[in-house]
Amino acid sequence: MKRKKELLREKLIDFQLKIAALDHTLKEQEDRFKSRENALYLNLFEVLDAFENLAKTIKAKEDGFDKTTRRIAKNISSIQQKLARSLKLRGIIPVEFKDNQARMEYCKIVETRQDPQMENESILSIIKTGYLDKNSNKVLRKAEVVIIVNR
């Protein structure tokens, strides 16, 4: 009887060690997956940046476009919107500054300017859009902004 108890005890310890090892392996896999997912999002944000730059260029020159060029511009815009919708379906949304004030947890200041007519830390322009995972409320990429700093 004592031998059976000892055998059961050893098996229980063995199972607990295996469970701990599997838990550790699972955590490592989750971390690797999250890291790869974040890298993919960062790459997609770069694609969205390229689309935004292309849209600005198109808008500046659209008056001289013929019918075919307008259709191409519309298709480019459609692709950009599909990518943004796809990210939104996964809970990835652009960072918004409703009060137009820089908040350090959501933005990175790349330049400052003076304008006595405007309030300090007001966002003058957004150079790169920031993105937020609204499911986890985690900033995936901070917005790059130009703000007002009056001295």
Nearest partner of 131 among 34, 50, 38, judged by Cα: 38
Question: What digits encode the pLDDT tens for the residues 108-138?
Answer: 999 999 988 888 999 999 999 999 999 999 9
- The third-level CATH classification (topology) of the domain covering 92-151 is Nucleotide Exchange Factor Grpe; Chain A, domain 2 (2.30.22)
Tokens of 98: 């409703």
What global pTM score does this model have?
Answer: 0.79
Residue range 31-71, pLDDT digits in tens: 999 999 999 999 999 999 999 999 999 999 988 899 999 99
pLDDT of residue 1: 79
Identity at 127, one-letter amino acid code: I
Which residues does 112 contact at the CB level (< 8 Å), separation at least 6?
A: 146, 147, 148, 149
Element (H or E) spanning 128, and its range? strand 123-128
The domain ranges of the chain are 1-90, 92-151
